[in-house]
């Protein structure tokens, strides 16, 4: 993940051409033993590497049923949240609270939101039930209660993400050694509630902190990539950014970020179009057409806000 400037070869050393350099790199990869995944599979926790504008760090992530987890406590964090001062809470006609997000992004996406609201209103009118008042009285209430119970059961069984966090902040470590030292120290954190945490803290070594490719995320590159325009967009980079941002927003209790990435939002439309475009056939063709209609400025501003909100709740550890 770290990026270094190329070093000039010493005068006494022969320079390798591109073919020789590639062969040498392949040899190194073949000689390097693969990281032992046995421990991670046993404890059902994974090391994760995240790059943000402030740097790159290591942390841990696990997935467990929601009913088994206690969410991170954000009370102390939100007292000092620099973004809270920029939020405006307004009341809708239904007395529901609505959070107005980053001003620039909100202004650019306002037109899209108006169109979505109009569609939702038509859908609600079209989907009104034709049942009589008598039918509702007889069975409607019982059905509603049963559905609520089923929804609660499903929500409790759903696996949700949990990171190495404490008091609403994501703990990111600049080296594997510092991460292992923290875990062994017994310091308080939200992952310690897992039944496999003690085993991990007893057996973990710095060499085990080797995240898989799918657990390595480059949030520091997202905004610049989106600014480059549709032809420059890195589909894999942006799709993976959406995945880690949703996980972090849920685990860190960042409702504004969840809202920006929720179904029907402009950034969710971007994500769906990206996923469709990487597939072949008609679906891929339609996905690429949808991408052309998505504003690069709106997308980059939205992601700038998301990366900023995540960065604001990171606790960097050396």
State the pLDDT at residue 239: 96
Give the residue with greater pLDDT, 21 vs 150: 150
d(CA 26, CA 23): 5
Backbone phi, then psi, for 166, in 5-degree steps? -155, 125
Residue of 317, 297, 308, 245 lying closest to 109 (CA atoms): 297
Give the residue with greater pLDDT, 102 vs 95: 102
Q: Around Cβ 201, how many Cβ atoms within 10 Å?
A: 17
Domain ranges in the chain?
35-124+159-317
| Of 103-107, 115-119, 124-128, 219-223, highest mean pLDDT | 219-223
Quick check: 133 pLDDT over 80?
no
State the pLDDT at residue 286: 78
pTM for this structure?
0.71
Sorting pLDDT into bands at 50, 70 and 90, what band is 277? confident
Pairing between β-strand 165-166 and β-strand 216-218 as defined by DSSP bridges: unpaired
State the pLDDT at residue 99: 46
**What is the average pLDDT across 94-112?**
54
Q: H or E element: which one contains 309?
A: helix 296-311
Give the residue with greater pLDDT, 112 vs 305: 305
State the pLDDT at residue 288: 79
Backbone phi, then psi, for 210, in 5-degree steps? -135, 85
Give 127: exposed, middle or buried? Use CB within 10 Å, 0-12, 13-18, 19+: exposed
Give the residue with greater pLDDT, 33 vs 75: 75
State the pLDDT at residue 318: 86
State the pLDDT at residue 5: 41
d(CA 296, CA 318): 36
Quick check: 204 pLDDT over 50?
yes
Helix axes 296-311, 235-251, angle to 10 degrees: 40
């Amino acid at each position: 993940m770290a990026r270094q400037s190329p070093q000039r070869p010493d005068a006494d050393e022969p320079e390798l051409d591109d073919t020789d350099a590639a062969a040498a790199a392949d040899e190194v990869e073949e000689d390097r033993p693969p990281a032992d995944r046995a421990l991670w599979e046993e404890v059902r926790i994974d090391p994760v590497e995240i790059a943000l504008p402030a740097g790159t760090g290591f942390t841990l992530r696990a997935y467990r049923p929601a009913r088994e987890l206690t969410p991170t406590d954000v009370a102390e964090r939100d007292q000092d949240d620099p973004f809270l001062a920029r939020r405006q809470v307004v009341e809708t006609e239904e007395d529901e609270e609505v959070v107005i997000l980053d001003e620039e992004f909100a202004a650019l996406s306002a037109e899209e939101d108006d169109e979505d609201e109009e569609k939702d209103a038509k859908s609600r009118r079209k989907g009104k039930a034709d049942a009589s008042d008598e039918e509702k009285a007889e069975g409607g209430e019982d059905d509603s209660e049963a559905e609520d119970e089923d929804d609660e059961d499903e929500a409790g069984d759903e696996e949700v993400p949990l990171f190495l966090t404490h008091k609403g902040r994501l703990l990111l470590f600049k080296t594997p050694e510092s991460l292992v030292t923290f875990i062994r120290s017994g310091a308080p954190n939200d992952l310690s509630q897992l039944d496999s945490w003690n085993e991990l803290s007893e057996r973990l070594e710095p060499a085990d902190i080797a995240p898989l490719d799918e657990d390595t995320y480059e949030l520091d590159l997202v905004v610049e990539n989106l600014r480059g325009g549709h032809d420059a967009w890195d589909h894999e980079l942006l799709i993976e950014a959406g995945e880690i941002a949703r996980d972090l927003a849920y685990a860190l209790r960042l409702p504004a970020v969840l809202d920006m990435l929720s179904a029907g939002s402009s950034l969710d439309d971007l994500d769906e179009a990206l996923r469709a475009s990487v597939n072949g056939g008609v679906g891929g063709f339609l996905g690429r057409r949808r991408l052309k209609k998505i504003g690069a400025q709106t997308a980059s501003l939205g992601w700038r806000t998301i990366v900023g909100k995540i960065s604001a709740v990171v606790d960097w550890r050396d």
